Structure 1
Amino acid sequence: MDEHSPLFVISVAAELAGMHPQTLRQYDRLGLVSPSRTAGKSRRYSMRDVVQLREIARLGGEGVSLEGIRRILDLENQVSDLSRRVRELEGALADELVNRPGRRVFAAGSAGEIISVKAGTRVRRANQLVVWRPLERDPS
């Protein structure tokens, strides 16, 4: 069971959120909180829904309009989804680095080109020494 599991009927969710069941129905119609539905079309609220209802009550108490609350919740949900996606991608990258070590090693050449390098090796650099002396001019 996780925070998104639909567990609570509307009366229980309303009590947990400190609201009237009719308020939850209104928020559902407005799209502020969209609970899951059973086969018989009755609402089932998750713990995440209850937390969101409490957040709506807090923001409303601070004077934020329902439209403002909807926008805030949309942005918070978007941030949550993006954070979850970043964690997934970080995990995939970590797995890739563990499963294929050294496959993505590269260096930049003298002209700026990319040179693939085998893991554990170094790029050879030109190490010639050029000595230059200006020609001595005849002082006359």
Structure 2
Amino acid sequence: MNNHLSTQGLGFGTVVGIGTDIIECDRIGGMLQKHGDEFLQRVFTPREIAYCGDRKMSQLHYAGRWAAKEAILKVLGTGWAKGIQWTDVEIVNLASGAPSVVLANRALEIATGLGIREVQVSISHCKEYATAFAIGLR
């Protein structure tokens, strides 16, 4: 009986980088109250704003996307330096509901330079916290 999983030949990529982040949902709620649309448009894309804005307790979803963006920049090894804008990293949802990463502009250039072909992300949140884990694959 085979009691192990082999990834050989299954097309799994080489891990280039990993990242994780956690944020208090109330922190994002405070930013939304204090800065409103200015904050939303600086940090989130129109698709992210539409998705989160349509959700009950939208601050949890905004916080999840914030954490995902932070985790992805850790994958790239840049933080918010090297000319990357918040909206260069976008989190959209697949038909299944799973989050998917779309990179643009400087974030895409850096990922391409690192040989990253795919970035996967997982997001979780509860009333108090949102967390995300991201992995970049070559």
Give the TM-score category using the shorter length: under 0.3
Q: Which structure exhibits the higher relative contact order, with contacts defined as CA atoms closer than 8 Å and separated by 6 or more residues?
A: 2
More strand by share: 2
TM-score, normalised with respect to structure 1: 0.27
TM-score, normalised with respect to structure 2: 0.27
